[in-house]
Amino acid sequence: MSAIHTLTMPKWGLSMQEGKVNGWLKRPGDAVAIGDELVEVESEKIAGAVEASVAGVLRRQLAGEDDVLPVGGLLGIVADAEVADADIDAAVAAFNASFVPASTDDDAGGPSPQQVEINGRRMRFLLRGEGGEPVILIHGFGGDLNNWLFNHEALAGTRAVYAIDLPGHGESAKDVGDGSLATLVAAVLGFMDSQGLSAAHLVGHSMGGAVALAIAAQAPERVRSLSLICSAGLGAEINGDYIDGFVAANDRRALKPLLTQLFADAGLVTRQLVDDMLKYKRLEGVDTALARLAAALFAGGRQQAVFAEVPAQLGKPVLVVWGEDDRIIPVAHAPAAGGQVRVERLAAQGHMVQMEAAHEVNRLLEHFLS
């Protein structure tokens, strides 16, 4: 008998307990390919599309628009066209009879962020997976480890994957020293030392890409490979108005239009995402930290540290992924493909491509890392 596949409410982030259905993108009877976006859902953190993990036909929509489901709740059914309706009805009944939503206590048993002291500064990180060759996820300016909500678990099936908060960000210490790239590099290398990682695959987004490039230039023996996502550090141009505006923004009205520039689809910027960013911006020391980093790294609306030669000269595998509609750093900064450098440009995607096109980015990273 052909397989019947359940489509369930995803878990995007450690704190997500439920999600709301914003609308279906496929209709019952539509053919489905792996990676197709099937239904838009919204958590308290962000809105996004649930993508198909199998090919087939969308046979059932079990949740309607505006329905709120617990994580793991049944959204729909994908199966081959020849599967009998009675078999699908039986699968739905069996799922509903056995499904028990996870409790808050269950959630507490999962992985939790940890803290370690690096060079006298507190640093937060989240580890998922174990074994294999370790991977470190490095976020961009104003971000934190939650920027990898859609990627972290997907990459951790066969390896240890660390997501970190750089100094000045998330729940790490807000002391960024002189705000230089050298300070951020020292923090990441110190973190690697603290975890006993002699070398790792570095995945950097935006400013995190510049950090990864600087580490590769300074200590290539610590780098197994580079994955650069809409990366800083490959050219001088950057959206200086965004940087200056983000540093200065201190209320919802100023912040939301800036955050929409990060996405090709502005609808992904939820109220909760804006509120969370405002909470971060209002933490003691954040304004000073961001201003110091911006002055050292992006003075005059230009990137001050450029490592355009590193991808070709590193002599190790390099993956570059860019959203073609990136409004923060030009896609033209992507290096030429060739040798050990692979370049992927994703159409109709913005600066936060690892969130907007998570399935495709995860597929590219998994293939590259494997």
Interatomic CA distance for residues 232 and 235, integer angstroms:
7
Read off the tokens for 293.
């980093």
Residue 10: the pLDDT is 85
Residue 268: the pLDDT is 83
For residue 323, give every residue at least 6 positions away whose Cβ sits within 8 Å of its Cβ, in sequence order, or none. 230, 264, 331, 345, 346, 349, 350, 351, 352, 353, 356, 357
Residue 101: the pLDDT is 86
Residue 270: the pLDDT is 82
Interatomic CA distance for residues 8 and 76, integer angstroms:
7
Residue 302 DSSP one-character state: B
Q: Give CA 18 to chain center in angstroms.
A: 20
Residue 164 DSSP one-character state: E
Interatomic CA distance for residues 74 and 120, integer angstroms:
47
Interatomic CA distance for residues 312 and 334, integer angstroms:
12
What does the angle CA 270 – CA 274 – CA 279 come to, to the nearest 5 degrees? 145
Which ranges in 140-251 belong to alpha helices (H)? Answer: 152-155, 181-194, 207-218, 240-248
Question: How many C-beta neighbours within 10 Å does residue 329 have?
Answer: 27
Read off the tokens for 281.
């911006």
Residue 109: the pLDDT is 47
Residue 45: the pLDDT is 65
What does the angle CA 125 – CA 198 – CA 289 come to, to the nearest 5 degrees? 40
Question: Could you tell me if 278 and 220 are in contact, meaning their C-beta atoms sit under 8 angstroms apart?
Answer: no
Interatomic CA distance for residues 213 and 220, integer angstroms:
9
Question: How many C-beta neighbours within 10 Å does residue 370 have?
Answer: 9
Q: What are phi and psi of 60, to 5 degrees?
A: -145, 140
Taking the chain (370 residues) in runs of 10, the rounded mean pLDDT of each run is: 84 79 95 91 78 92 94 94 93 92 59 91 96 97 94 93 98 97 98 98 98 98 98 98 97 96 90 90 96 98 97 97 98 97 97 92 95
The domains of the chain, with CATH numbers, are 4-106 (2.40.50.100), 114-369 (3.40.50.1820)
Question: Could you tell me if 142 and 283 are in contact, meaning their C-beta atoms sit under 8 angstroms apart?
Answer: no
Residue 104: the pLDDT is 57
Helix (H) or strand (E) holding 212: helix 207-218
Interatomic CA distance for residues 189 and 214, integer angstroms:
11
Residue 13: the pLDDT is 66
Exposure class string for 91-113: b at 16+ Cβ within 10 A, else e: bbeebeeeeeeeeeeeeeeeeeb
Read off the tokens for 163.
């997501």
Interatomic CA distance for residues 89 and 96, integer angstroms:
11
